Amino acid sequence: DTAVSQTPKYLVTQMGNDKSIKCEQNLGHDTMYWYKQDSKKFLKIMFSYNNKELIINETVPNRFSPKSPDKAHLNLHINSLELGDSAVYFCASSPEGNEQFFGPGTRLTVL
Amino acid sequence: QKEVEQNSGPLSVPEGAIASLNCTYSDRVSQSFFWYRQYSGKSPELIMSIYSNGDKEDGRFTAQLNKASQYVSLLIRDSQPSDSATYLCAVNPLYSGGGADGLTFGKGTHLIIQP
């Protein structure tokens, strides 16, 4: 059984487009996160959600917006995509905000 | 600003030897520490967590924490070629039981186990 899943696995799109990445966890965890891993493999927190409430919001552009329809899902919407948005985006979840378990990642390429 | 420092490597270790990976962190209030393994093209996989000073052992892995020195390490005994990966050190300022801070990651150490 997949614990944290993401779709799509690969996403190739043109600059200026709007896209979404979906994330689901079946672990019953309270908190979910989005991380960005850039071309140099540096992994950085973007957002976290705890019981559908945004807890932290790092200094990411407001073109990025997380949306959580329920505790098991945290989707990432990106508007007006730019070249610099190309990266691997990881969803993660954790019980009580501690040990975090990652999804398989979505490789976004903006052309 | 929270920072986590790791030597990027590559760290080359012969098969069967002990691999030693090190990490320092800047935020003194940090309470939770994690080691993740990431194979190329894959997602980070949690291999160790440690919350108290001292050593924590799990199979071939031992995590060591020294909060006074703001230092955490990972030892891998009897290294295998399958241990070749990037090892990410991560820090969370909150102790288990609450909060939703994201982890602050180091840039990772690339470990190569030579057969």
Q: How far apart are the first and last CA of chain A?
A: 34
> Average of pLDDT values for B24-43?
92
Q: What is the mean pLDDT of residues A9-28?
A: 97
Report pLDDT digits (tens) over A50-79: 876 787 777 789 899 999 988 899 999 999
| Chain A residues within 8 A of B46 when measuring between CB atoms | 99-101
**Is A38 touching B (CB cutoff 8 A)?**
no
Does B42 reach chain A within 8 Å, measured CB to CB? yes
Q: Do B102 and A58 touch (CB under 8 A)?
A: yes
Nearest to B23 by CA among B62, B72, B70, B57: B72
Exposure string of B2-23, with b = 16+ CB inside 10 Å and e = fewer, is: eebebeeeebebeeeeebebbb
Contact assignment for B43 to A55 by CB distance below 8 Å: no
If you average pLDDT over residues B63-92, what whole number do you get? 96
Q: How far apart, in Å, are the Cα atoms of A72 and each of A3, A57, B28, B98?
A: 11, 19, 33, 18
